[in-house]
A and B are shown apart, each in its own frame.
Chain A
Amino acid sequence: MERMAALQSRPWVFAHARVIHDVFVLAGLSLVSLALWSASAQAAQPDHPSLAYTYPSHTLTLAASCAVCHGTNGHSASGMLGLAGMPAAQFISKLQAYRAGSLPATVMHQHARGLTETEIQALAQYFSAQSPGKTVLEPQPQALEQDHD
């Protein structure tokens, strides 16, 4: 319900994609799976605060590009190299040192040199605003099903 309200309060949102349920039922998809399927949609409980209104999309894209090594929003799954909550001044001076080559690095100098000053400042704001210590979820390994394409 909350989600519906959220939808209505945001007129820019498209009317949701329409699924032609009848066709699915006719084609033999069971009602049970349909029910499960829509249940999964209703279970949507945003446990992530909305970032889209706080940061420009330019920064969101860039910060997400750092996530592959530093974890989503700087929360690293391996515990290595987390960035969440790093004070902005420290963040900026590290990135400047990587650019200058004065901090030893395997790869960060190559990333830092491609960014503008403004981008570094924006990323410093972004990562310093994340609260550290969040548990990171990881998908669990499983046996391969042989019908995989």
Chain B
Amino acid sequence: MVGAGFAGATLAKYLRLWSNYGVEVIVVEQNRQFISCPLSNLVLGGSRELSSLTFGYDMLQRHHGIQWVHDQVTAIDPERRKLTLLRGELSYDRLVLAPGVDFDYSAWPELAEASARADLPHAWKAGPQTQLLRKQLEAMPDGGVFAISIPKAPFRCPPGPYERICQVAHYLKQHKPKSKIIVLDANPDIIAKKPLFSRAWQELYPGLIDYRPNSSVLHVQAAQHKLETEFEQISADVINLIPPQLAGKVAQMAGLNNVDSRWCKVDFRSYASSLAPEIHVLGDAIFSPQPKSAHIATSHAHVCANAIVALLRGEAPDPEPVFANTCYSFVSDDAAMHVANVYRYDAAKELMVTMEGGGLSEAASTLEGTYALSWARNIWSDTLT
């Protein structure tokens, strides 16, 4: 198992559980800590510390006898079923990759070097970049401009940028009310929970948010704090440039990103790659019409764990897996709203399709804020213990 985010950690645990501890699982993960992306926008809003979203893997390892290698994969050899790591090699019978997303800066040659973008955090993986962006907000003068650039879909967590705008607005409204948020959205419109976000922006943060659709950033002058779109040039005190995304590096290494050279095509009954049946890919890295969310990532892991156990028993995996998704978004420090759907495998379409009856909250509420926090505690507990 390479990668221990929501998908990878869940796969490791449930493969152990559902094989009755009969399958040995070795996890390779380059980070020592798990940092939850869900709720990390609240760090920007100022109502949460990143440490409250940072956890260890020790309980997961101990409770389920999962072997753990803290290392980085540098090469994959599917023919010899071998992984090369910085410190050695590993061989496997079945390989599962959950590498999350990688960031694509190729549209901006001026940002090719990591040092050139050191001042432009994407903060799209919770961690040091989240803290950096929070510090930049704190240092911003009252009357300053926060610019956020949203890439074309698909990307990790479709409601995430719009939730982030609420959180930044929540902070600015209290501490720097003369400031402004400029949203440069490469998409033609708000792509998730549109009526709910529009309403929250209008009711909670009137006059603070300037939303500009169809606005891809073409050039970036990092030192001058300037962005250029097809239509205009924008100066901002803080720039949150969220780049376009693709399957994480390990999936690219294995050459499995066969949809638009970005995402990995899999069989939704087993998450086996369409290119290599003994390699499974889970989570944000796959091509799928479903949102790239934590709940969905854990669901991929459940289907995959069940399928691997079935395959080992010489049985066929569940022909019609069903699972749900819910994404909660916080519009302030305590009010949240959701989108929820149930998905079912459709053999004719070879996709998970949306069932009737799903949808959005009627409005953001503090009741749902409470449910959202309970959701977070339960998904962390399920994934990490």
Instruction: From B45-53, B144-152, B165-173, B179-187, give the one contacting chain A.
Output: B45-53
Q: Are B55 and A139 in contact (CB under 8 A)?
A: yes
21 A-B contacts (beta carbon < 8 Å)? A6-B20, A10-B20, A17-B93, A41-B65, A44-B21, A52-B19, A57-B306, A61-B303, A61-B322, A66-B324, A68-B298, A68-B326, A78-B377, A107-B361, A111-B326, A113-B356, A136-B381, A138-B377, A143-B51, A144-B33, A145-B33
Q: Are B306 and A51 in contact (CB under 8 A)?
A: no
Q: Within residues 50 to 109 of chain A, which ones have a CB less than 8 A from any CB in chain B?
A: 50-53, 56-58, 60-62, 64-72, 76-78, 80-81, 99, 106-107, 109
Residues of A within 8 A of B303 (CB): 61
Residues of B within 8 A of A28 (CB): 87
Residues of B within 8 A of A136 (CB): 381
Q: From known contacts A57-B318, A111-B324, A114-B355, infer whether A41 and B67 are also in contact, taking CB-CB under 8 Å.
A: yes
Nearest CB to that of B295 among chain A residues? A68
Residues of B within 8 A of A (CB): 14, 16-24, 26, 30-35, 50-56, 59, 61-69, 87-94, 125, 127-128, 131, 294-295, 298-299, 302-303, 306-307, 309-310, 312-314, 317-318, 320-324, 326, 338, 340-344, 355-359, 361, 365, 367-368, 370-371, 373-375, 377-382, 384-385
Residues of A within 8 A of B68 (CB): 37, 40
Residues of B within 8 A of A106 (CB): 338, 361, 365, 367-368, 371
Residues of A within 8 A of B16 (CB): 44
Instruction: Confirm or deny: A35 has a beta carbon within 8 angstroms of a beta carbon on chain B.
Output: no
Q: Are A148 and B90 in contact (CB under 8 A)?
A: no
Q: From known contacts A18-B91, A107-B338, A140-B55, infer whether A40 and B20 are also in contact, taking CB-CB under 8 Å.
A: no
A63 CA to B94 CA, complexed, in Å: 25
Instruction: Confirm or deny: A43 has a beta carbon within 8 angstroms of a beta carbon on chain B.
Output: yes
Give chain B's interface secondary structure class: mixed
Residues of B within 8 A of A141 (CB): 51-55
A29 CA to B380 CA, complexed, in Å: 31
Q: Are A52 and B18 in contact (CB under 8 A)?
A: yes
A81 CA to B17 CA, complexed, in Å: 24
Q: From known contacts A139-B380, A139-B384, infer whether A40 and B65 are also in contact, taking CB-CB under 8 Å.
A: yes
Nearest CB to that of B24 among chain A residues? A16
A17 CA to B173 CA, complexed, in Å: 55
Q: Are B89 and A61 in contact (CB under 8 A)?
A: no
Nearest CB to that of A70 among chain B residues? B378
Q: Are B371 and A72 in contact (CB under 8 A)?
A: no
Q: Are B358 and A110 in contact (CB under 8 A)?
A: yes
Residues of A within 8 A of B24 (CB): 16-17, 41
Q: Are A13 and B22 in contact (CB under 8 A)?
A: yes
Q: Are A58 and B127 in contact (CB under 8 A)?
A: no
Q: From known contacts A106-B368, A107-B371, A139-B380, infer whether A148 and B128 are also in contact, taking CB-CB under 8 Å.
A: yes
Nearest CB to that of B321 among chain A residues? A61
In the complex, how many angstroms separate the beta carbon of B99 from the nearest chain A beta carbon? 12
Q: Are A72 and B54 in contact (CB under 8 A)?
A: no
Known pairs A43-B62, A52-B17, A111-B326; list 19 more (Cβ under 8 Å). Answer: A6-B22, A13-B19, A13-B312, A14-B23, A17-B90, A42-B65, A52-B18, A57-B309, A64-B299, A65-B322, A68-B379, A107-B338, A110-B340, A110-B358, A113-B355, A114-B342, A114-B343, A139-B385, A148-B35
Q: From known contacts A14-B23, A57-B310, infer whether A69 and B371 are also in contact, taking CB-CB under 8 Å.
A: yes
Q: From known contacts A20-B90, A139-B384, infer whether A144 and B59 are also in contact, taking CB-CB under 8 Å.
A: no
Q: Are A40 and B67 in contact (CB under 8 A)?
A: yes
In the complex, how many angstroms separate the beta carbon of A5 from the nearest chain B beta carbon? 11
